[in-house]
Amino acid sequence: MPNNTFISKSEKSAPGFKAAKDRVTLLLCSNACGDCLIKPLMLYRSFNPRALKNQNKDNLPVFWRANKKAGASKDSETNYTTLNLTTRARATKIRRAVTESRNLRSDLKQKILESTDELNNILKNIKEGAVGNKQCLPSPTLPTRRLDAETAPTPTATPSITIDHKILEHLKENKELIKQQTEELNKLKKEIKTNNQEIKHNESGKTIIEELNNMNKKRNRPKDNQYKFH
């Protein structure tokens, strides 16, 4: 990315750096596999700019829309997704579709997907594909909205979640083994400390007895009176 944007000659001659305040927003739409591409949406601050004067906007490779701030608004996003996506879904005989959108300034009333029995039965049949691979990968929470070509029934109840208790049992067993090993190590440490103390005590006793024997030798005492270490 460049550090600065290109400016016109008139703006360049003016004192200070004044870049043009043009802004364009491009919205892309496709499925996860990439085999279903929809014409992108282009948002600009004016609907009839000088470069596109007296030209038919329908012939452009994008949906040309205008907005004061050239940003995604509620009307533009809803019209683009609902009209174009539903028409494409009906043409390709797709009954259900899910839109994922991020970084939108407009406050859209999103419908949160709930884990209903009907949805779970559909997902169970899907073993391979983009949806199955995406569920395995960690992805951030995105605002989602459900678009049905036909009216779907309201969710009735949530399914029960089953937890694998074998993992918890293995963790408990590992904790118990770790505790036993730590207790054995502590016992060994205590035994080593006691043995070291006994060795030091014996060495100190030997040194004292040797000094006493040396004292007796200097005094010329008989060998029977010498001290012995037992």
Greater confidence (159 vs 178) lies with 178
Q: Which helix (H) or strand (E) holds 184?
A: helix 166-218
In angstroms, the CA 183 to CA 5 distance is: 69
SS3 content of the chain, % helix, strand, coil (to 5): 45, 10, 45
pLDDT per position as a tens digit, 98-128: 666 655 555 445 554 555 556 566 666 554 4
Is the pTM for the entire model greater than 0.75? no
CA distances from 107 to 41, 110, 132 (A): 19, 9, 30
